[in-house]
Structure formats: C-alpha cells, structure tokens
A and B are shown apart, each in its own frame.
Chain A
C-alpha cells in the first residue's frame, strides 16, 4: 500500500500540490484527474523522484521511502511517459534490457527470458529487433509499459496514456491496463479524460486546481 501524507510542492511562488493525502491499495487501479496545471504530472514526478517534495511523507507498506533517493535496485514506482521517451538509438529489445542489466549489474542475457515473456504478454514480440521510429504510437506505448515493467516496480504509473492515441488505440490501452490489473499490478493513471478515468479505474481521485 502506498501512502502520501501532507505532501507540498511549489515551483517558485506557485504552489502546485498542497497538503496532499493519498492512499493507493495494493492491486488498485487509481485514476488521478484534474485541470491542466493542477499538479497531476507533478504528482507522478514526485513519486518517481524526478522532483523532490517540499514537505510530506511517502510510505510503502507503512515504511517511509524517498523517491529521489531510495533503493536503486528496487524500483517502487515505474513510469510510462506521455511521449514514451524510448531510447531511439536502441532496438526495442535493447530498450527493455538496458536498465535492468545496468542497474542490477548483470549481463543483459540474464533478463532475456523476462523481456521475451513481457513482450509476448504485451503483443510486441515481433517488434524486438526494430527501432522506436519504426513503431506506431500504440506499439510505442506497449514498449514503454514493458520497459517500465522490466524493473519490476511495485506500482506502475502512466502520464496521460491516451493523449497521443486515436480512439481505437485508446480502447487497446484501456484493455491493456485492465489486463495488468487482473494480474494484480497496482497502477496509477494520470489523465485529463474523465470518461477514460471512470471507465477503467477502481477509484477516481481529483487533484484540485490550486492555481
């Protein structure tokens, strides 16, 4: 279970997150909605350590953790970026293998079986030898999810997962997120799309606009 207590975050004199309290149960699929500039993406950046909270506490199963420091070898929150941010000079297979092998200081081959299993689950097994520029938006999305899952995070977070996709692909992402939920994955989906949030989530959390 992830707990956030009294989290504050400002950029200069602009307070983006104020006294935020949030709990995400294990296996829960939480959608975070809110207006643009309301702090949704900032919340994900805090959880993944890309930003440091000004105040507040992060707890995982009751134990405090510090996303910007934390245990390098056990990733707590994996992130699927809005624009995927796949590494363009690496094949899909290399995109999947790079981080676990570097971070856990093992040969990439040690993660081959895992990457192939994930690729199969996410229907990207035929794309492993390709480069990101050869993929469609929906395929890139799946690769980004697979890359995040290669690090075995406790929670998988998505930043606006449907914003770059057409309605057909949106449906596919929805199914994919629900499949991962069935497998017991705890997920946080940040979106501006209320309908999408209500369709997929166990619970919708609204971040109020402080601007």
Chain B
C-alpha cells in the first residue's frame, strides 16, 4: 500500500500545483474585490447597490460547478473565449467575491455607529474613516468567517476537473482508474487534509495576531 502511495505521489504533487495556483490567485483577486463590493452594497447610490445585490444573489444562488461550465463552455457562444485555467480562475473569483462581499458587509455593519460619529466629529473624511477606522476593525471581526470560506476554497478547487484541468483530484482519479485501486484517492484526501490543516493553523495564528485589542 505504501509503495503504491509513493508511486502516485509525484502525480498528485504535480496536480497540487494547479490547486495551489488557483487557490492563491482566487484569494488575491476576490478578497480586495469582496471589500469593494461590500462597500458598494452599503452605498446610497441605488443603481450600484441593486446591481451588486443582483450579482451576489446570482453567484450565491447557483452552483459553482454550473458557473464554471457557463464561463468555459457558455461564454464562447457569445464570442468570449477563455483557456481552461483562466476560465476556472474567472469563475472562482466571481463566485468567491460574492461570498466575501457578504462577509465584509456583515463586518462593516457590526462597527458601532459611534465610531463613525467620532471620526466625523474629528473631521475625518468618509474615505479616511473607511480606510483607517473601519477596515482594520472589520478584518478582526470577519476573520473566522473568512477562514471558513478560505478552507472551502481549497476543497472547491477540485471542481475544476470538469474543465479537464489537472488538479490533485483529477490526478488522483486518473491514478485510481489506472491502478484499479482506491489508494490514490486516500493520497488525495491526505493532501487536502494537509492543506486545510496548514491553513487552519495559519488562520488561528492570524486571529491571535489580531487579538492585540478587544
């Protein structure tokens, strides 16, 4: 069993490259976009607010798998063509931006009104208040929910098999069929557990870092 596991390990690790790249780039795009959307959801400009609400509803109301298929197979019918990885990255970023936007919106809402008023009396502009008072406090508040989504993202990344991208899951599935054994899938589970384990510990560490104030 161990020999079988060692045999498939290089293939699984090469699949991990796709998983990690997709994971990293999705986070890099969707966290800042999520913050911007959350601010947009709080705006008094009605058309912007409604548009963003519709976007969040659409992204959270349909399966990510369906969004992946639509971006890769659907968009070319209207002349927009993405190669596999870009299509996956676009679908993941759009989807996770919507979830992050809702998380950040909740965080922004939980900042006491008095903090905004104190900033206003001290003559800070709304932009300065957002950047220096609100966002730093929001990060601490949303970190646990954000962490949940980040761990979900690792697991969701396995959905890219539908586009034929060679991630950990696909590498494991191919090896399973070739070897006619479930051992490669055990290897896949170990890799996901390791990744989510490292993330859980890192997120805990980050939460401790933000605990410098109450």
Contact = CB atoms under 8 A, between A and B. Distances in A.
Interface of A: 48-50, 72-73, 75, 78-79, 81, 83, 85-89, 98-99, 102-103, 131-133, 147-148, 151
Contacts of A131: 212-214
Interface stretch (B61-69, B84-92, B118-126): B118-126
A73 B140 CA distance: 31
A77 B137 CA distance: 27
Contacts of A87: 115, 118, 133
Q: Give chain B's interface residue range (CB within 8 Å of chain A).
A: 20 to 34
A131 B120 CA distance: 21
Nearest to A85: B118
Chain A: interface secondary structure?
A: loop
Contact of A102 (B115, B128, B212): B128
B208 to A, nearest CB: 15
Contact of A48 (B121, B140, B213): B121
B114 A147 contact: no
B204 interface: no
Q: Which 6 pairs between the two chains have the least Cβ-Cβ distance? A: A99-B122, A85-B118, A133-B214, A85-B114, A131-B213, A103-B123
B132 interface: yes
A88 B214 contact: yes
B136 interface: yes
20 contacts: A50-B120, A75-B123, A79-B121, A81-B114, A81-B117, A85-B112, A85-B115, A85-B117, A89-B137, A89-B140, A89-B213, A98-B132, A99-B123, A99-B124, A131-B212, A131-B214, A133-B214, A148-B121, A148-B122, A151-B122
Given A88-B213, A147-B122, 19 more contacts: A48-B120, A49-B120, A50-B117, A50-B121, A73-B123, A79-B121, A81-B114, A81-B118, A88-B214, A89-B137, A89-B213, A98-B124, A99-B122, A102-B124, A103-B122, A131-B212, A132-B213, A133-B214, A151-B123
Contacts of B214: 88, 131, 133
A75 B119 CA distance: 13
Interface in B102-156: 112, 114-115, 117-125, 128, 132-133, 136-137, 140
Nearest to A147: B122
Contacts of A151: 122-123
A95 B50 CA distance: 36
A102 B117 contact: no
Contacts of A98: 122, 124, 132
Contacts of B124: 98-99, 102-103
Contacts of B122: 75, 98-99, 103, 147-148, 151
